[in-house]
Chain A
């Protein structure tokens, strides 16, 4: 094996080890109540600001919502229930991300479809190009040559 090959393999090994350590560091799946409240707060729009989430805004409305979210988390409600409650008060546009079902789901699925279609087209195009090398003239090329020779 050449020296550069060894160097690449060593790098790959080091990277895998590092990523493994990072991932296995024990991601705590049981987030604390504060963390769960914070996660929901990042998804709720501050109603009196322009575009900030209630987690980032210091306005009274944002504080009231944060307090309410925390109260409901402590009372054992799930994220869906809390978000549904806020929607009944402020309307469905209080959440910063649309739900995955219904018309909001379109905005999640359309980009994925577009990427898949584009990726597929790219793969097909690359295959077509690699098959058609200069050594194999196409029918069009043959016809061109034939006509030129006739003149």
Chain B
């Protein structure tokens, strides 16, 4: 193209500029995105009444979740074949023992896709005297929206779900959440 003969419409910079802007917006959106794993800790149950935990009790006292109203409850979904679940188990034992004496919090477990006999022998060997409910059809897990193991939910004394923890829970983390919840209560 010989220059200076005729001024042709300079369309290219406009179109190129528009495309660049659209793509840069996409880049900004992608840059601010949270990693996928973080999203699983949100739950639609947060702030809502906890669903029932109704099923055959295979270990511990025959109590329902309602019976524990008035205390904080850690509802934990687990299975013995799940390695992180086995790793968090001693943490739950410690937490439960500490708060049994204080009588302000308790642990409740739901079996997810595991055999009752296997669970009983695991608890017999590793401790844990709380209520353990069997969920052979997975309906409790469905009600709570469980997406993987292990998952734990913290229920406040009024029966509302206030936290969801994915992956293994540990004693100090649970204590911190409990302190936070209690502080929020008194506000």
Contact = CB atoms under 8 A, between A and B. Distances in A.
A and B touch in the complex (CB under 8 A): yes
Interface of A: 47-48, 60-61, 63-65, 67-68, 87-92, 140, 143-144, 147
Nearest to B48: A88
A65 B44 contact: no
Contact of A89 (B113, B137, B145): B145
B142 A64 contact: yes
Contacts of A67: 137-139
Contacts of B139: 64, 67-68
B6 A68 contact: no
**Interface of A: prevailing SS:** helix
Nearest to B2: A144
Given A143-B6, A147-B5, A47 B138 contact: no
Contacts of B8: 140
Contacts of A63: 138
B6 A60 contact: no
Grouping DSSP codes into helix (H, G, I), strand (E, B) and loop, the B interface class, with mixed when no group exceeds half, is: loop
A64 to B, nearest CB: 3
Interface residues of B, number: 20
B148 interface: yes
B138 A60 contact: yes
Given A48-B147, A60-B113, A87-B44, A65 B142 contact: yes
Contacts of A87: 44
12 contacts: A47-B147, A48-B148, A60-B112, A60-B138, A61-B138, A64-B142, A89-B45, A90-B147, A91-B42, A92-B44, A140-B6, A140-B8
Q: Give the 9 A-B CB pairs with smallest separation, nearest first.
A: A64-B138, A89-B145, A47-B147, A60-B113, A90-B145, A64-B142, A91-B44, A60-B138, A48-B148
Contacts of B65: none
A108 B5 CA distance: 47
Given A64-B137, A64-B139, 7 more contacts: A47-B147, A67-B137, A67-B138, A68-B142, A90-B44, A90-B145, A144-B5
A61 B143 CA distance: 11
Contacts of A147: 5
Contacts of A68: 139, 142
A89 B6 contact: no
Interface string B115-159: 000000000000000000000011101111111100000000000
A91 B142 CA distance: 12
B59 interface: no
Nearest to A87: B44
Given A48-B148, A147-B5, A88 B44 contact: yes
B43 interface: yes
Nearest to B42: A91
A28 B8 CA distance: 61
Interface in B146-183: 146-148
A6 to B, nearest CB: 49
